[in-house]
Amino acid sequence: MSTIKIGLFGLGTVGLGIYSIIGKARNTHAEISRICVRSLDKPRPAEVRSELLTDRPADILDDPEINLIIEVIDNADAAYRIVSEALRRGIAVVSGNKAMIARHLPELIELQRTHGGALLYDASSCGSIPVIRNLEEYYDNDLLLEVKGILNGSSNFILSRVFDHGEDYARALREAQELGFAEADPSFDIEGYDSLFKLVIITVHALGVYVSPDDVFTYGITTISSDDIRLAREKDMKIKLVAQVVKVADESFTMFVMPEFVAPSKYIYSVDNEYNGVVIRGECYDRQFMFGKGAGGFPTASSILSDVTARLHNYRYEYKKMGYLGRPAYTTDVELRVYIRFTPADTATVEALPFTRVRERYTSDTHSYVIADIPLRALIEAREQLRAPGIFLCNIPRFFLDRD
């Protein structure tokens, strides 16, 4: 069996996890030959062999001995340049960069086809949970109805702290950063974009369809208040940040990222802290559930290691479903039921929304809320206004309620 010689880009939380576990993984027959970092002056843990470090990407890309690149840097543009150049040279790449992959996947697939390289990225979605390879290989049929779950560890950690420990939101966010769960820019986590990027990647492997992140409604937890939390508790619910892709007819599916009221009967109700949980629903088998650590250096590194080992056996994603006849089409022409809490100053914004049916209203001097049905398309059109600091939006699930 040949040895994999790795060029590693990035030595942050995940990079250090990889450095540590590749050294221990004897069956992987892999060794790290070179590590490219942004700054050679940054202090590193003692076990990092300083002679491996470089700040020149060419030292890896031009090294004929290196036959696999692992890319775990946090800058999506730089990651794109490295990964696309490696693929153009036919070199195999393992990446965890969900923002980069979600934005450039069609081109990255084309580069793999044209130049014969391979790009694996199970670590990009849900950390240690093997969701991509399972969707790609096992759920290779027409039965899939829905993939839905908690895809972001940091926001889930924050919501758990706030709900279960009564902790202050800002402190919980600081903790998520200190523990290495959060992105370099944590607004990606709490505004839902990290979940969105993972959902876009998951949808390619679930349904064989690429949807640009710009076309998907995404709403985070930034504006949640104690009023929302109190209401959820009164209704014996939790609020979780949920990403979902759902078949709404044989020929169409929808997708969005939004906080959601989650009842105790749901699998994801018990997914707390930095854990992720993914429910896969299909004809014939109803619901299946995958659960595991979604963030942090070692859980993510374990997924990278699995992709490295897969390359030892020449594994690549075939993207078979993208070639299927009769792939479902993305639609925003669906009706959702939402809870919208708002301050008196935001009343005009909320009243202007084209609700199809109002089901409940509450008004007090400090805040009001409405529970109403509304087309997803209308939420997309109003997304900027809905981001006002005094407004919080939360989904009330409607799909498959009769099937649980």
Residues forming contacts to ligand HSE in the complex (CB under 6 A) are 127, 152-154, 181-183, 189, 194, 294-295
Question: What b/e sequence results for 195-206 when a residue is b if at least 16 CB atoms lie within 10 Å of its CB, and e otherwise?
Answer: bbbbbbbbbbbb
- Measured distance CA(370)–CA(14) in Å, rounded: 42
Looking at the Cβ atoms of 156 and 368, the one nearer to ligand HSE is 156
Q: Put residue 10 in one of left, alpha, beta given phi > 0 → left and psi -120 to 50 → alpha.
A: left
| 198 tagged catalytic | yes
**Helices of type H across 193-250:** 193-207, 226-234
Reference 139, options 256, 250, 285, 266; nearest CA is 285
Looking at the Cβ atoms of 87 and 182, the one nearer to ligand HSE is 182
Q: Least distance from C-beta 158 to ligand HSE, angstroms?
A: 10
Looking at the Cβ atoms of 112 and 124, the one nearer to ligand HSE is 124
Q: Least distance from C-beta 189 to ligand HSE, angstroms?
A: 5
- Measured distance CA(92)–CA(134) in Å, rounded: 20
Looking at the Cβ atoms of 158 and 340, the one nearer to ligand HSE is 158
Q: Is 72 in a helix, a strand, or coil?
A: coil
- Measured distance CA(146)–CA(282) in Å, rounded: 7
Strands 217-218 and 252-262: parallel
Q: Least distance from C-beta 123 to ligand HSE, angstroms?
A: 8
Q: Least distance from C-beta 286 to ligand HSE, angstroms?
A: 27
Distance of CA 184 to the CA centre of its chain: 15
- Measured distance CA(103)–CA(77) in Å, rounded: 10
E strands, 116-251, in order: 119-120, 144-150, 217-218, 238-249
Looking at the Cβ atoms of 53 and 158, the one nearer to ligand HSE is 158
Q: Least distance from C-beta 196 to ligand HSE, angstroms?
A: 12
User: Which residue in 98, 148, 198, 321 is the catalytic one?
Assistant: 198
Looking at the Cβ atoms of 33 and 152, the one nearer to ligand HSE is 152
Instruction: Please name the helix (run of DSSP H) or strand (run of DSSP E) that holds residue 384, with its range, or none.
Output: helix 383-386
Q: Least distance from C-beta 4 to ligand HSE, angstroms?
A: 24
- Measured distance CA(45)–CA(58) in Å, rounded: 24
Neighbours of 178 (CB within 10 A): 9
User: Which residues are catalytically annotated?
Assistant: 198
